[in-house]
Structure 1
Amino acid sequence: MRNRTLAVFQHHLAEGVGRIGLWAQHHNIKLVCFYAPEDLPNSLTDYDGLIVLGGPMNVADNPMWMQTEVKLIQQALTLQRPILAICLGAQLLATQLGGQIIEMPAPELGWQDIRFNDGSILTVPQWHEQAITLPKDIAVLASSGQCPVQMYRHQHAIGLQFHPEWDAKQIEQLAEFFADDCPLTNDQHTAKYQSQLASFLFALLDAQFTF
C-alpha cells in the first residue's frame, strides 16, 4: 500500500504543524507543506487529505492568493477528502460552507476553556479576533463564552477555532516572533493543558484521517 500523503497549507513562518508532525511520523503519513501565499498546489487530487493551519490574516481582505486557497478547499470538499481546518483555516472553510466571519467585541486570547456538547471542558490556546457563524444544518460540536463556534463538522471536514497543534515548542516560536504580543505562556500550570490537548488532537487526527 502506498504511503498516505496530506497537503498542509501554512500561512505564517511561526505557525507550523506543531504536534501534528509527531502524529504523522508515528503513522507513517507524509505531510507536504505549502507556504501561502507564495506556494499553493495546482490541485489536491494527488493528496489523501488536507490540513489548513492558522495565520494572522483577515478573511475579509480576501486577496488573490486567498481566493485560490478557498478554491482548493472547495475542491477537497468536492473530492470528499478529509479536511482539518484550524483558526484561519476554519474560517476559510466556513466561507465555503455558507458561513460568515464576523468581528468579535473583544479578541479571545490565551488559555481559555471550551465546552463540548457532552459537557466536557478542554482548556485550549486561543488567539483570534473574528468568529464564525454557520448555517443551521452544520453541526457545532464545541463553544466558548466568547465564541459560539469553536468546533464544527460537515461531512468529511472539521473546523477548529482554537489551536490544538500548538505544543510547548510551537508556543516558544510564537513568543520569539511576536514577543509581548503573544498571549500564551509555557509554565508548570500549562503543562497539564498540553497533555490533555495532545490526547484530544491525536484522537481527532486518528478518527479524521483513517483511510
Structure 2
Amino acid sequence: MKPVAIFRHLPIEGPGYFATFLDNNHIPWQLIKIDAGAEPPDSVDSYSGLVFMGGPMSVNDDLPWIESSLKLIKLAVAHDIPVLGHCLGGQMMAKALGGVVKQDPFKEMGWGKVKVPENPVARAWFDDLSEFETFHWHGESFSLPEGATCILSSLYCENQAFAMGIHLGMQCHVEMTERMVKDWSDVSFEEVIQLNVPSVQSPAEIETNLTERVTKLNTVADRLYTKWIAALK
C-alpha cells in the first residue's frame, strides 16, 4: 500500500494517536513537516490518503503553503483519495470544498461533549454512539461544504465534524495523547487562565482524569479511523 501522507503544521500538533492507530493496523505513513519548510506535493499519486493536522494559524492567513494545500485537497477528492482533517485540517478541507471559515464569538479550549445528530451519515460513522467527550482547541470554525453532512455538534460550535463520502473533516481533536494535552496546556497557559468564559477550561481542569479521558477518546478515534482507512486504496 502507498503511504498515508500526514501534514504537520506545528511540532506539538503532530499526528498523535492517529500515528499509533496506523502503526497498529500496519499502514505505512509519511510525515510532511510543513512547519520545517516542507512543501505540499503537486500530485496525490504517491499516497493512499491525505491527513491534515492542526495548527495555530488560520486557513485565511496569507501563508505560502495554504493555497497549495487547498489545491491538493481538491485534487484528492477529485481522484477519490480519502482526506482526513483535524481542526485546522478540517477547516482547510471545508474551505477547499467551498465552505467558509470564520472567527467564532469565543474560543473553545479543553474537554467538552459533542453530540451525534440523527442522520444516516452520522450513524454510518458513529453507529449507536450518541455523544462523547472530546478535546477542543479552536477560535474559528467552518461552514459545511455543498454535499457534506454534519456528523457532530457541540454547545459552542454547530459544525464539529462533517463527512462527504469517504472524506472526514473535524473541528475537534480526537487524535490527542496525554503528552499532547499537557504540552498544549503548558504552551497556552497564560492565554487559558485569562479567558474567563465557560467554553475554556483552566489548565487544572484540562488535566483532570487525563488518562481516563484520553483512553475513552482513543476508543472513539478507533471507530472513526477504522471507517476512514477502509477507503484507502
One-letter amino acid matched to 1:186: E
- Residue aligned with 1:29, SS: coil
Query: TM-score, structure 1 length as denominator?
Result: 0.91
One-letter amino acid matched to 2:68: T
* Alpha-carbon distance, 1:58 to partner: 1.0
Q: Deviations over 1:103-153 (max 9, x none)?
A: 111111111111111471111111111111124632101101111100101
Which region of structure 1 is more displaced relative to structure 2, 112-121 or 25-34?
A: 112-121
Once residues 106 and 65 of structure 1 are traced to their aligned partners in structure 2, the CA distance between those partners, rounded to angstroms, is 27
* Alpha-carbon distance, 1:176 to partner: 4.3
Query: TM-score, structure 2 length as denominator?
Result: 0.83
Once residues 186 and 44 of structure 1 are traced to their aligned partners in structure 2, the CA distance between those partners, rounded to angstroms, is 39
Q: 2:136 aligns with which of 112, 115, 126?
A: 126
* Alpha-carbon distance, 1:79 to partner: 1.3
Gap change, CA 1:57 and 1:167, over 3 Å in 2: same
Other-structure match for 1:187: 208
Other-structure match for 1:106: 106
1:63 correspondence with 2:39 = no
Contact 1:142 1:151 in 2 (8 A): yes
Contact 1:102 1:132 in 2 (8 A): yes
Once residues 122 and 164 of structure 1 are traced to their aligned partners in structure 2, the CA distance between those partners, rounded to angstroms, is 11
- Residue aligned with 2:81, SS: coil
Equivalent residues in 2 for 1:189-204 (5 A)? 190-204=210-224
One-letter amino acid matched to 1:196: K
Q: Flag as ranges the 4+ runs of structure 1 deviating above 4 A.
A: none
Gaps of 5+ in 2: 119-128, 193-200
* Alpha-carbon distance, 1:193 to partner: 2.3
One-letter amino acid matched to 1:53: M
Gap change, CA 1:140 and 1:169, over 3 Å in 2: same
* Alpha-carbon distance, 1:192 to partner: 2.9
Contact 1:14 1:177 in 2 (8 A): no
Contact 2:99 2:146 in 1 (8 A): no
One-letter amino acid matched to 2:181: I
- Residue aligned with 1:44, SS: coil
Gap change, CA 1:77 and 1:62, over 3 Å in 2: farther
Contact 2:44 2:76 in 1 (8 A): yes
Gap change, CA 1:136 and 1:47, over 3 Å in 2: closer
- Residue aligned with 1:59, SS: coil
Which region of structure 1 is more displaced relative to structure 2, 104-113 or 39-48?
A: 39-48
Equivalent residues in 2 for 1:83-94 (5 A)? 83-94=83-94
Contact 2:142 2:159 in 1 (8 A): yes
* Alpha-carbon distance, 1:181 to partner: 3.8
Other-structure match for 2:73: 73
- Residue aligned with 1:13, SS: coil
Q: Deviations over 1:38-92 (max 9, x none)?
A: 1122322110001100000012213221111111111111111111101001001
Other-structure match for 2:49: 49
Other-structure match for 2:177: 167
Gaps of 5+ in 1: none
* Alpha-carbon distance, 1:179 to partner: 4.0
Q: Number of residues paired by the alignment? A: 208
Higher strand share: 1
Q: 1:146 aligns with which of 156, 159, 170?
A: 156
Contact 1:34 1:41 in 2 (8 A): no
Q: CA RMSD in A?
A: 1.8
* Alpha-carbon distance, 1:25 to partner: 1.0
Once residues 35 and 70 of structure 1 are traced to their aligned partners in structure 2, the CA distance between those partners, rounded to angstroms, is 16
Contact 1:7 1:44 in 2 (8 A): no
